[in-house]
């Protein structure tokens, strides 16, 4: 029996194979997960219905299971139909989850189109597709190393 909170068999399998610098995308319900992925990435769909599950819920589970050494968000656009005037509210939830996991990492936003490029690399091993309806809730995690 696993001791961490993440119990999804496929996600655990991919995380178990992932090495240092592999990336995990937790995608909101708007993200084109079937077309924006690396050549080695597997997609796990956890989008049951709008809002179930959220990116924050997936983040909490992954942080319980894998060492993370970088956290990137998709920078919100300020000049398109989906523009936001300030950081998405979910980013504060991410910061709280990261802190609760005992990490001192900061969110590092990546410009929207560069974010799409970042998830098409060979290092991208997993996309967890959620049904989060919040704009700009996508979060990209870089796997770290175990130090204990």
Q: Which of 50, 44, 74 is nearest to 138 (CA)?
A: 74
**DSSP SS3 for 113:** helix
In tens, the pLDDT along 85-131 reads: 999 999 999 999 999 999 999 999 999 999 999 999 999 999 999 99
Q: Which of 75, 59, 34 is nearest to 141 (CA)?
A: 59
Token pair of 91, please? 């980013």
- What local confidence, expressed as pLDDT, does residue 148 receive? 76
Mean pLDDT of 10-34: 96
d(Cα 115, Cα 121) in Å, to the nearest integer?
A: 11
Domain boundaries, the chain: 9-143
d(Cα 39, Cα 50) in Å, to the nearest integer?
A: 28
Token pair of 66, please? 């894998």
Kindly indicate the confidence band of residue 23, based on its pLDDT and cuts at 50, 70 and 90: very high
Length of the chain: 148
Cα Rg, the chain, nearest whole Å: 14
CATH fold of 9-143, please? RbsD-like fold (3.40.1650)
- Give the number of other Cβ atoms within 10 Å of residue 33's Cβ: 22
Q: Are 9 and 38 in contact (CB under 8 A)?
A: no
Is the pLDDT confidence value at 1 over 70? no
Share of the chain above pLDDT 90, in %: 90
Q: Are 23 and 120 in contact (CB under 8 A)?
A: no
First-residue to last-residue Cα distance in the chain: 20
Tell me the β-bridge partners of 140: 25, 72
Place of tokens 């990261």: 98
């Amino acid at each position: 029996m696993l001791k961490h909170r993440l119990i999804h068999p496929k996600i655990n399998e991919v995380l178990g194979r992932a090495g240092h610098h592999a990336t995990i995308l937790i995608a909101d319900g708007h993200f084109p997960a079937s077309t924006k992925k690396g050549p080695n990435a597997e997609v796990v769909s956890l989008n049951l219905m709008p809002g179930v599950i959220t990116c924050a819920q997936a983040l909490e589970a992954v942080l319980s299971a894998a060492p993370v050494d970088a956290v990137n968000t998709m920078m919100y656009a300020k000049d398109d139909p989906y523009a936001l005037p300030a950081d998405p509210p979910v980013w504060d939830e991410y910061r709280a989850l990261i802190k609760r996991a005992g990490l001192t990492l900061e969110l590092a936003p990546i410009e929207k189109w560069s974010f799409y490029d970042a998830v098409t690399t060979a290092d991208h091993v997993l996309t967890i597709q959620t049904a989060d309806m919040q704009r700009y809730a996508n979060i990209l995690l870089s796997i770290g190393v175990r130090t204990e």
